[in-house]
């Protein structure tokens, strides 16, 4: 039985664009694009995990808005349960600490990147709003 991994992703919007982050080439899912975020630790709500992860990964602060989607995707390493939320920056500018690249893209441009499979259902919802 595969391990269940519960994670969160921040769909950070600013000036009509959305922040997209590229995973490193030594990480699981190398060089795939994703919404920044990470694992929900024991005792955390998804929102608490998202605040913590964005502070750690991007060195900035966010406000968390509406829930977009929760996707369950089975990878070879486990079953990922990804909950995504609309977010806005409230302090700082995103800085790469764990990712190798980031892009700010319009909704219509999101499909131009090579996304991690668990993120794709959220992208489909975002593009159609």
Task: Tell me the C-alpha distance between 68 and 34, whole Å.
Answer: 15
Q: What is the pLDDT of residues 7-26, one digit of tens each?
A: 999 999 999 999 999 999 99
Q: Using the predicted structure, report yes or no on whether residue 127 has a pLDDT greater than 90.
A: no
Q: Using the predicted structure, report yes or no on whether residue 1 has a pLDDT greater than 90.
A: no
Task: Tell me the C-alpha distance between 102 and 36, whole Å.
Answer: 10
Q: What is residue 77's predicted lDDT score, i.e. its pLDDT?
A: 92
Domain-wise residue ranges, the chain = 4-127
Closest CA to 11 of 94, 85, 111: 85
CB 113 within 8 A of CB 120: no
Q: What is the pLDDT of residues 63-122, one digit of tens each?
A: 999 999 999 999 999 999 999 999 999 999 999 998 999 999 999 999 999 999 999 999
Q: What is residue 9's predicted lDDT score, i.e. its pLDDT?
A: 98
Task: Tell me the C-alpha distance between 72 and 86, whole Å.
Answer: 18
Q: Using the predicted structure, report yes or no on whether residue 128 has a pLDDT greater than 80.
A: no
Q: What is the pLDDT of residues 25-63, one digit of tens each?
A: 998 899 999 999 999 999 999 999 999 999 999 999 999
The CATH code for residues 4-127 is: 3.90.79.10
């Amino acid at each position: 039985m595969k391990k269940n991994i519960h994670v969160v992703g921040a769909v950070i919007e600013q000036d009509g664009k959305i922040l997209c982050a590229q995973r490193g080439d030594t990480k699981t899912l190398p060089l795939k694009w994703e919404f920044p975020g990470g694992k929900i630790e024991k005792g955390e709500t998804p929102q608490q995990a998202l605040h913590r992860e964005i502070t750690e990964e991007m060195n900035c602060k966010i406000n968390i808005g509406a829930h977009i989607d929760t996707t369950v995707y089975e990878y070879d390493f486990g079953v990922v349960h990804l909950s995504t939320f609309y977010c806005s920056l409230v302090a700082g500018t995103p800085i790469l600490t764990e990712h190798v690249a980031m892009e700010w893209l319009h909704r219509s441009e999101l499909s131009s990147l090579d996304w991690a499979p668990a993120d794709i259902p959220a992208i489909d919802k975002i593009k159609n709003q």
